[in-house]
Amino acid sequence: MASASATGHNVLLVSIVLLATVCACTAESPYAAGLSEDYYQKTCPQAASIVDAYVTKFLSKDRNFAGAFNRLQFHDCWVGGCDGSVLLNSTTTNQAEREAHVNFGLRGVAEVDEIKAALERVCPGVVSCADILILAARDATAKVGGPTWSVALGRRDGVNSTALMADTNLPFPVLNFSGLVANFAAKGFGAREMITLSGHQQFGFNALDLLIEKNTPAFESFSAHTIGRTHCNGILPHLYNFTGKDDATDTNPAMDKNFAVFLKKHCPQGNTTNTIFIDSTANTFDRAYYKNVLQGKGIFITDAALITNPVGKKIVTRFSKPGKSFFTEFAAAMVKMGNLGVLTNTEGEIRRTCQFVN
């Protein structure tokens, strides 16, 4: 009897061990299939350090590149997935994403190409432009006071890029709360994640003809609300003719009156080219954006929209206060964004230069 009992006990232990092994093996990874943190360990172990060094170099010249690199990741991943397609040039037969209304004022493309050239000298044909964007956004965020996060690599570069895809995927700057929620839900992100990324991502927007004439530069998209700057064309709908009265005094009533006067001095009616920093700490990743939104000092219409919904206002209030919640959730949202529509294995290609297909 004792022997049978021992045997039964051993079988139970083996079963528990096997079950634990299965659970460990099937635990959901935070990364898309085909991506891993050590992807370049054998083929280009210097990849991450090279990107980091160049990001440091660019930020030492202009800290606003932190916002530019963040905007590049968002505008790439939101349009057909994280495949580096936002970097491609137009051709004689195709208008690429970079020419889209939503990508007006896009910066950092030449800098990404410089990083790519450095990597090609060390590890030719190995590191994708898509992965460079992911690394640069992470490194730039951390270098201006934001969180850092583990990055999975192994993306390959896409060969298709159209302005129409960008203009129909990125959220428009006059969307209300439900419109923003719907846009993010289409990519698998919840309302809380939308608000989290609003604190950093200056969303791209669909330039609808009924609001913008075809020959008018479109609104600057959200390339970092807590870091970065924007052209006045992204602010004008907030300041003038808000309800369609064609009146210079027709300003969004949700905006703080003194703040509106300040913005109008920097962005006179009709001026689309002046630039302005997005908040008082525009080159530092912090919670100032959320504090500004609660005070009616958000730059964009979509900023004010975040607190028109009770749930949205609660989240904005939470993120405006000290604590790790915003930084932690932001990092998780960036990892999740980096999984969108990735190309791996034999899909796509590894471009030799980021602005041209091979």
Is 76 annotated as ligand-binding?
A: yes
pLDDT at residue 245, rounded to an integer: 77
Q: Which residues of 239-267 are buried (b: 16+ CB within 10 A; e: fewer)?
A: bbebeeeeeeeebbebbeeeebeebbeeb
Is there a domain that residue 356 lies in? no
266 is catalytic: no
Residue 176's domain comprises: 46-338
Q: Considering the entire predicted model, what is its pTM?
A: 0.79
Per-residue pLDDT of 266-302, as tens digits, reads 888 887 777 765 555 556 787 888 888 999 888 778 8
What is the C-alpha to C-alpha distance for residues 299 and 301, in angstroms, rounded to an integer? 7
pLDDT at residue 18, rounded to an integer: 47
Is there a domain that residue 352 lies in? no
pLDDT at residue 215, rounded to an integer: 30
What is the C-alpha to C-alpha distance for residues 163 and 101, in angstroms, rounded to an integer? 8
Is there a domain that residue 39 lies in? no
Nearest Cα residue to 220 out of 233, 237, 239: 233
Is there a domain that residue 343 lies in? no
pLDDT at residue 282, rounded to an integer: 54
DSSP code of residue 254: T
Is there a domain that residue 15 lies in? no
Per-residue pLDDT of 13-56, as tens digits, reads 444 444 554 444 445 788 999 999 999 999 999 999 999 999 99
Which entry of 9, 75, 238, 266 is annotated as an active-site residue?
75
In the chain, how many domains are there? 1
Is there a domain that residue 348 lies in? no
CB of 86 within 8 A of CB of 79? yes
Is 284 annotated as ligand-binding?
A: no
Confidence band, pLDDT 50/70/90 cuts, at residue 103: confident
214, HSE (Cβ side, Cα atoms, 13 Å): 0
Is 154 annotated as ligand-binding?
A: no
Q: At 121, which CATH number? A: 1.10.420.10
pLDDT at residue 154, rounded to an integer: 98
CB of 274 within 8 A of CB of 217? no
Is there a domain that residue 355 lies in? no
Distance of CA 184 to the CA centre of its chain: 12
The DSSP-derived string for 233-250 is GGTHHHHSSTTSS--TT-
- The residue ranking higher by pLDDT, 12 or 83, is 83
CB of 277 within 8 A of CB of 236? no
pLDDT at residue 230, rounded to an integer: 65
| Site of tokens 């009265």 | 245
Is there a domain that residue 257 lies in? yes
Residues above pLDDT 90, as percent of the chain:
53
Lowest mean pLDDT among 18-27, 66-75, 145-154, 173-182: 18-27
Is 279 annotated as ligand-binding?
A: yes
Say if residue 217's pLDDT is above 90. Answer: no
Structure-block tokens of residue 85: 């397609």
What distance, in Å, lies between the first and last C-alpha atoms of the chain? Answer: 73
Per-residue pLDDT of 249-267, as tens digits, reads 888 888 888 888 888 888 8
